[in-house]
Amino acid sequence: MGLFDSVLGAVLNNNQQQPASAAGALGALGALGGLGNLGNLSGLVGTLASNPQLIQMVLGMLGNDSAQGGLAGLVGKFQQAGLGEAVQSWIGNGANQPVSAEQITSALGSGTVADMAGKLGLDSGAVAGQLSQLLPQLVNQLTPQGQAPAQGLGNSGDLMGMLGGLLQGR
C-alpha cells in the first residue's frame, strides 16, 4: 500500500498548503499522456482527502484485473440496469448524464455497495451517493477520446500508478 500512501500524502499536503496547485497538478496529467485532461477533477482531490479508500476501490473496480471486469464490466452492469445511455455519455465527448445513488446501487448491486460501505465504515446510501458523483467524472476523464480503450484501462496498479505519478510530478 506504499504507493497509495504516497499519493494520499501528496494530495493531503497539497490540499493543506496550496489547493489550487492540486487542481493544477491534475491538469498536468494530460501533458504527461496519462489519464487525459484532468483539470476539471478538483472534486477527485477533495474525495481523496476526505475518503481516499473510496478512490482506491473505484480504481480497483475499473482496473482490468478487477472481479467486476474493469471498465467493460462496469459498462455492461450499467447497460443491464437500463443505464446504458448514461454510462455511454460518460465515455463520450458530450455532457455526462447524472445518475442517482439508487441507480448506482441498482447497477453495481446492493451487495457490492454494502461491501464497499462496510470497508469504509459508512452506510450504503452515503457510498452510493459519493459514487454517483465520482464515477461519471472519473470514467469521463479516463476516456478522453470519447471511447473506451479496446484493451481496457489497465490493471488497478497501473491506474494507481498514473494517479501517483500525476500527483508526485507536480
According to DSSP, residue 89 is labeled: H
Tens digits of residue pLDDT in 59-87: 888 888 888 888 999 999 999 999 999 99
- Domains of the chain listed by start with CATH number: 2-168 (1.10.10.690)
Share of the chain above pLDDT 70, in %: 64
Sequence-separated (6 or more) residues with CB below 8 Å from residue 4: 52, 56, 160, 164
Residue 44: band (very low, low, confident or very high) from pLDDT cuts 50, 70, 90: low
Share of the chain above pLDDT 90, in %: 35
Contact by Cβ (8 Å): 30, 38? yes
Q: Per-residue pLDDT for 135 more than 70?
A: yes
Query: Greater confidence, 27 or 45?
Result: 45
* pTM of the full structure: 0.70
